[in-house]
Amino acid sequence: MTAVSVPAPTAAGDDSEPVQHPPAEGEVAVTLALVQRAQAGDTEAFGELYDRYVDLVYRYVYYRVGSAQVAEDLTSETFLRALRRLGSFTWQGRDVGAWFVTIARNLIADHYKSSRYKLEMTTDDVTESGASLSQEGPENAVLEAMQNKVLLEAVKKLNAEQQECIVLRFLQGLSVAETAQAMGKNDGAIKALQYRAIRSLGRLLPDGVEL
C-alpha cells in the first residue's frame, strides 16, 4: 500500500483527530521544521520537502489526469507554485503534504478547464505494466489488467470530489484523517464522501467487473 508521510496514525480510520490544530508532533513536526527552514532561505530544506512529497503529488495528479506527461507538467508547476508561495504558508494543523495536494488540486482543476484536457484514456501503459507485477498466473494477470483499466477509467468519470477521494483514500491508501487533511474537510465529510464515491463508482462499472 502506498506509504505517505502524514500525521502519525498509520492505522486506518482514525477519526478522532480534532479540527483545531494540536501542536505538531512526530512526522508533522519534522516537515514543519523543513518548511520553516525553507522559508528562512534554506534552499536545501525545500529540496528535502520535495523529496518527501514529490511521489505523493505525482501519483495524485497522475491518477486524476491519467497521463504521465500531464502529471509531470502539473507536478512541476505544483512545486514551483509552492516555492513562490512559501512565504505565505502558515501551518493550519494540516500536514504539509496536504498543502501540496491542495495546490495540485487547483492546478488539475485549471487543467480540466483548459484546452489541454483530453478525454481519451491514457491508462493503458499503466495497467499493462501493473499486470506484469501481479503474482498470479498469466490468465489472471491479463484479466486483472483489463479490469484495472476499466476500473481506472471509471474512476476518471467521477466528479472531481469523488474522484479525488477515491484516488487519495483507496488508490493511494491514505487514512480517513489523512484524506481529510488533504482535501480540507473533516473526517465525517470524508466518510460520507467515500461512501457516495464508492457507490457512484459501482454504478459506473459494468456488471461483473466488481468482484
Partner 1 sequence: MNPFGTRAAADFARALDGGTAGTLPGLALAARLRTVGGSLDEVVAPRAEFRDALRMRLLAVATVQATAQTTAPRAARASTPAVLAAPLASAVSWRHRSGAVAAGAMACVVAVSGVAVAGSQSLPGDPFYDVKKTVEAFQLLTADGDVEKGTQHLEFAATRLREIRGLTLGRDAADAGPELGPAAMDGGITLRSATQPLAGGEALSAGVAGRVKQTLAEMDEQTQAGSALLNEAYRESRTAAPLRVLSTFAGRQAAGLEQLLPALPPRTQDRARISLALVVAVAQTTDELLSTDACGQGCDPAAAAPTLPGGSVTGSTSSRTDAPCACAAPAPAPAPGPSTPAEPADAPRDEPSEEPDPEPTTAPAPTPSSPAPSPSPSPSPSGGGLPAPVPSLPVPLPPLPVPLPTLTPAPLAPAVEQLLPGTSGSSVSGSSSGSAPVPAEPTGPVPLPQLAPLPPRP
C-alpha distances (whole Å) from 149 to each of 29, 206, 208 are: 39, 12, 14
| Interface segment toward partner 1; rule CB under 8 A; list 17-25, 74-82, 89-97, 111-119 | 74-82
| Interface segment toward partner 1; rule CB under 8 A; list 18-26, 95-103, 109-117, 150-158 | 150-158
Chain-centroid distance of CA 174 in Å reads 8
In the numeric block, the cell 502558515 is attached to 90
The C-alpha angle 169, 68, 140, rounded to 5 degrees, equals 65
The three-state secondary structure class of 135 is: coil
Spell 136-169 as b/e; 16+ CB within 10 A means b: eeeeebeebbebbbbbbbbbbebeeebbbbbbbb
Residue 142 interacts with partner 1 (CB under 8 A)?
no
Binding partner 1 (rule: CB under 8 A), the pick from 6, 34, 98, 148 is 148
Site for partner 1 in 120-139 (CB under 8 A): 126-127, 129-130, 133-134
**Which among 36, 33, 80, 74 is positioned nearest to 57, based on CA atoms?**
74
Binding partner 1 (rule: CB under 8 A), the pick from 34, 38, 70, 182 is 38
Shortest Cβ distance from residue 27 to partner 1 (Å)? 20
Q: Which amino acid is at 175?
A: S
Binding partner 1 (rule: CB under 8 A), the pick from 18, 23, 87, 206 is 87
Q: Which amino acid is at 17?
A: E
Residues found near partner 1 in the complex (CB under 8 A): 1-2, 11-13, 15, 38-44, 46-47, 50-51, 54-55, 58-59, 62-63, 68, 71-72, 75-76, 79-80, 83-84, 86-87, 126-127, 129-130, 133-134, 147-148, 151-152, 155, 166, 170-173, 176, 188, 191-192, 194-196, 198-199, 201-202, 205, 210-211
